[in-house]
Structure 1
């Protein structure tokens, strides 16, 4: 079904552009920036359409800046309503761990969003598509940044209002030039006037990351994002996708499999082989404890994102302490010894949860 921008949408867009720092780009400017939507400039694609890397002049720019240009397909699931939602969300939001919107284009029923460019791509890309996996410290700091951005969405807009992202996943967490995490894609987000009670809404999100209670009832709360973040957390720790049919049936859903491993104290099977020797035992305990709580079937037992941030900072402190000790030791075979002390034989992790 064709999704188009209405006259009232256009009026609202012009009003937002006037009131904020958003820029309204012409289609000609976008075509010039993307060399007429050259496929060689595509840096991402999905059900919404394609994302291009391009150069364009923004408000106040004296030279062209590199940007990410998302062109929504009018036949995609993410149509005009999501396009409008994303712009309205960015009008309200400003945070160092959220991707910034520079402008938009709505000429000739095009739906195009122009963002700051994130040169290091997505967490998903580094976990699943390249041969240079992130170090454990990188993964931990990225998790902290993403948690800060999500906490801001939930609580930073106002005491009586919150925003639920509704599509937290590894491909929606981008990395800037300093590897800092920034949350992106607010097309499915919902503003809630009573954050504690949530809102009933149609089911949207990505399979594998969806809160089971939201899936069953259609009732959305901030704890639904917390569940999704827990899935991302185990994805970061394990290097496995949220859903991977290459594994046998009881293991292809990451959330279900990870919780089972935690319950059976088989943490050595969860941790990616690329980082297993890098992790402090205390850091891992803290990290897994709260990730497991995020995936609790009862929303009431899940932590808030503020709780998550505190625990992640504690995990980071444990890791920094561990790394300092390791550097001081500096003996041959230290990494191997620490790996053995941490995990022991393959099926006896020695980690207490």
Structure 2
């Protein structure tokens, strides 16, 4: 049987004991339990350190994965944009190729390939440039004028009624008379007109070898603002001449010279079908406005271009709807009387300039002509939205202000062509 002192000694060894105990000093020596607790604390600290390391490693993996996903997403967007551009370029090449195949097929089928026997037998056809519903445009050589021209052959449909044929002749004759009176460096010049057979006739036009704005936009989608502004200035120059009565007395505009007309005073004209396909380029890349088939002759009210006269709108549904202003879509008892001060072409000009800068039209993009009419797209075109920054090439605020002025919904508040020429964006040195 152990003595009591032995039990206390066992307990003391666990809890600790004074290793030296005198009246002057006490020295405590930890027992095994305290040592075990310190060992547990060290083990817990080690476990915590390992867990913290694992947590930091996992966080690093998350950050790494997020950055990787972000980078891959950005690259995917670039690749998708590149694919879309390649797709667009391929579609444009395919469309040009198909157009060329159709042109070649029509050229091969043409019974009169070499010569148009006009009253003077002076135009030799070289190759077909394009074909519409009831007309063909040929590159031809003028053996008398010793130069190339464009010959537009108008062909009647054998199934037409007499009334339809009379209407077609009246329409073509009206276009001929309008364009014959125009002499300006920004307007395609009409040179001649003659009958071919009892069912066809031809008009001879100045040849433009540089293609058209529609083709340019299909190839490039967007045009840098500096280049687009030059095209804009040249279109405005032509429109100002066309919109001004007494064209011989028209004044200087942004450095471009008006050409004299031998026909004396004439009425002002509203083009009414201004669109990229009717903006041609000559061999130097300068603008030539063409196709006056839907043009309006402004009645002479005797007061000059400044008077706010009006005329009935008789062409609802005609023209290319993407480029026509809201007032041309009002029908029924509320059918508008359009301003004789040309504001229709101003709207069209704004749409064209927007399309040059952003690659899309501001209203109705992706819609069919039928959908535009059915949904009243242009009637609801009350404000202009511009693509977000970064979604398109940088466009100046001055250019946007010019577009907003052109696309003013209210005909009464929209500037006419003459007023538009005073816009700051068109002044010399403006823009990029």
Distance 2:226 2:214 in 1: 17
Q: CA deviation at 1:136?
A: 3.1
Partner residue, 2:359: 239
Question: In structure 2, what is the equivalent of residue 114 of structure 1?
Answer: 204
Q: Provide TM-score, normalisation by structure 2.
A: 0.55
Instruction: Please state how far the C-alpha of 1:103 moved relative to its aligned partner.
Output: 1.1
Instruction: Check if 1:51 corresponds to 2:51.
Output: no
Asked if 2 retains the 8 angstrom alpha-carbon contact of 1:73 and 1:79, the reply is no
- Are 1:302 and 2:414 an aligned pair? yes
Structure-1 separation of matches of 2:140 and 2:283: 16
Q: Distance in 1 between matches of 2:221 and 2:270?
A: 33
Per the alignment, residue 207 of structure 1 pairs with 321
Q: 1:255 to 1:55 in 2, by over 3 A?
A: farther
Match of 2:403 among 274, 280, 291: 291
Once the two structures are superposed, the pairs formed by residues 246-257 of structure 1 within 5 Å of their partners are none
Deviation at 1:268, TM superposition (A): 3.3
d(CA) in 1 for partners of 2:388, 2:418: 25
Per-residue CA distance 1:67-119 (angstroms, 9 max, x = gap): 12222242499932221112211232111111111112222131322111111
TM-score, structure 1 normalization: 0.66
Q: 1:176 aligns with which of 266, 270, 282?
A: 282
Report the more deviating stretch, 167-176 or 304-313: 304-313
Which of 100, 118, 141 is 2:189 aligned to?
Answer: 100
Please state whether the residue corresponding to 2:357 is helix, strand or coil: helix
- Cα deviation for residue 132 of structure 1 reads 8.7
1:172-215 Cα shifts (integer Å, max 9, x gaps): 11111221111111121121123632311321322111222122
User: 2:220, 2:403 → 1: CA distance?
Assistant: 26
- Asked if the contact 1:100/1:116 (under 8 Å) is kept, the reply is yes
C-alpha spacing 1:84/1:299, structure 2 compared with 1 (3 Å): same
From 18, 23, 33, the equivalent of 2:124 is 33
Q: Assess if the C-alpha contact under 8 Å between 2:327 and 2:379 holds in 1.
A: no
Once the 2 structures are TM-superposed, how far is the Cα of residue 43 of structure 1 from its aligned partner?
2.3
Aligned to 1:148: 237
Residue 198 (structure 1) aligns with: 310
Does the residue aligned with 1:317 lie in a helix, a strand or coil? coil
After superposition, the Cα gap between the structure-2 partners of 1:255 and 1:113, relative to the gap in structure 1 and judged at 3 Å, is farther
1:219 aligns with 2:337: yes
Residue number in structure 2 paired with 1:185: 291
Q: Is the 8 A contact 2:180 2:191 kept in 1?
A: no
- 1:71 aligned partner: 153
Q: Gapped runs of 5+ residues in structure 2? A: 1-115, 250-265
CA deviations over 1:227-264 (Å, ceiling 9, x no partner): 122211211112225754279x99xx7997894424xx
Contact 1:169 1:209 (8 Å CA) reproduced:
yes
- Does the Cα contact within 8 Å between 1:210 and 1:224 map onto a contact in 2? yes
Structure 1, unpaired ranges of 5+: 1-23, 36-40, 321-353
1:120-162 Cα offsets, whole Å, 9 max, x none, are 111111001x259644322211111101111111114369942
Residues paired across the two proteins, number: 273
Counterpart contact for 1:98–1:183, Cα < 8 Å: yes
- Counterparts of 1:47 and 1:236, CA distance in 2: 27
CA distance in 2, matches of 1:258, 1:289: 15
For 1:176 and 1:258, how far apart are their aligned partners in 2? 36
Q: 1:226 to 1:318 in 2, by over 3 A?
A: closer
Taking the aligned partners of 1:82 and 1:198, their CA distance within structure 2 comes to 22
Aligned to 2:39: none
Query: Offset of 1:308 from its aligned partner?
Result: 2.6
Residue 261 (str. 1) matches residue 382 (str. 2): no
Find the aligned partners of 2:389 and 2:132 in 1 and give their Cα distance: 33
* Contact 1:231–1:255 (Cα < 8 Å) also in 2: no
Seen in structure 2, the aligned counterparts of structure 1 residues 137 and 156 have a Cα distance that, compared at 3 Å, is farther
**Bigger RCO (CA 8 Å, 6+ sep):** 1
Q: Please report the RMSD computed on the Cα atoms of aligned residues, expressed in angstroms.
A: 3.5
